[in-house]
Amino acid sequence: MTYVITPPAIPSLPVRGTDDLFPIHRIYCVGRNYADHAREMGHDPDREPPFFFQKNPDTIVPDGGNFPYPDKSEDVHFEMELVVALAKGGKDIAEADAMDCVYGYGVGLDMTRRDLQGVAKKMGRPWEVGKAFENSAPCGEIVPASTVGHPTDARIWLDVNGVTRQDGNINQLIWNIPETISYLSGLFTLAPGDLIYSGTPAGVGAIVRGDVMKGTVEGVGSITINVT
Ligand code: MN
């Protein structure tokens, strides 16, 4: 048996300190997971249950890559996020077991066509056109937890053209990493290779062609992406 067309390549990211790749299965994203960002988007940050959306795995852009300004939008925003990479999955994972599933971490950008997302929200439509478009998931190299541990208190910030635009700490997550994995695994069967973008702190904003975004999570790493 063979495939009737050439199978697509497996999206992947480099693993720091190795020549190896982390293969990407699915990309999940947590919405409004920092109170100050929930407020800036016009929502009450009380601890409502977490909610999720997905991006397409082949929309990954590696560190140093380009983000071509997408068409059909005039308001494209950055969202700087800590990314969790899973080595194991499952369904209905207990919080106490959740961290055993984590391979490592990355530094990601949840790029968003905010105007199209806004229309989708208003019309009660799905978010894919605002969130899952081409090149919408830049992510830096994956850093194994075996080398950096499991960060719970680390500055997370994003500079655009050298000016700090977002500045928070992952200790401000409304739903922390084990809670997020546990809750998400009740809705989807998680699998090795899944990435979870954990949410963004306040300060999201628009980019234009020529901008250089540099995002960092203290102790995890950085990502630099050029808007072209
Ligand atoms: Mn986000």
Give me the domains of the chain, ranges plus CATH numbers. Answer: 12-227 (3.90.850.10)
Q: Taking residues 7-26, what's their average pLDDT?
A: 97
Q: Which residues pair with 105 in a beta bridge?
A: 84, 143
Q: How far is the CA of 17 from the centre of ligand 1 (A)?
A: 28
Name which of 215, 100, 111 is nearest 165 in CA terms.
215
Q: Are 28 and 195 in contact (CB under 8 A)?
A: yes
Q: How far is the CA of 107 from the centre of ligand 1 (A)?
A: 12
How far is C-alpha 202 from the geometric centre of its chain's CA atoms?
15
* Distance (Å, whole) CA 103 – CA 93: 15
Q: How far is the CA of 111 from the centre of ligand 1 (A)?
A: 8
Span 27-77, pLDDT tens digits: 999 999 998 888 888 887 777 899 999 999 999 999 999 999 999 999 999
| Residue environment code for 143-162, b if the CB has 16+ CB neighbours within 10 A, otherwise e | bbbeebeebeebebbbbbee
Q: How far is the CA of 200 from the centre of ligand 1 (A)?
A: 5
DSSP 8-state class, residue 59: G
Beta carbons within 8 Å of 166's beta carbon, 6+ residues apart = 78, 80, 156, 157, 158, 200, 201, 202, 203, 204, 215
Q: What is the model's pLDDT at position 11?
A: 98
Span 116-138, pLDDT tens digits: 999 999 999 999 999 999 999 99
- Is this prediction's pTM over 0.85? yes
DSSP 8-state class, residue 173: B
Q: How far is the CA of 44 from the centre of ligand 1 (A)?
A: 17
DSSP 8-state class, residue 217: E
**Percent over 90 (pLDDT), the chain:** 93
- DSSP line for 73-140: -S-EEE-EEEEEEES--BSS--HHHHGGGEEEEEEEE--EEHHHHHHHHHHT--SHHHHSSTT-EEB-
Span 100-111, pLDDT tens digits: 999 999 999 999
* Distance (Å, whole) CA 196 – CA 184: 10
Q: How far is the CA of 88 from the centre of ligand 1 (A)?
A: 23
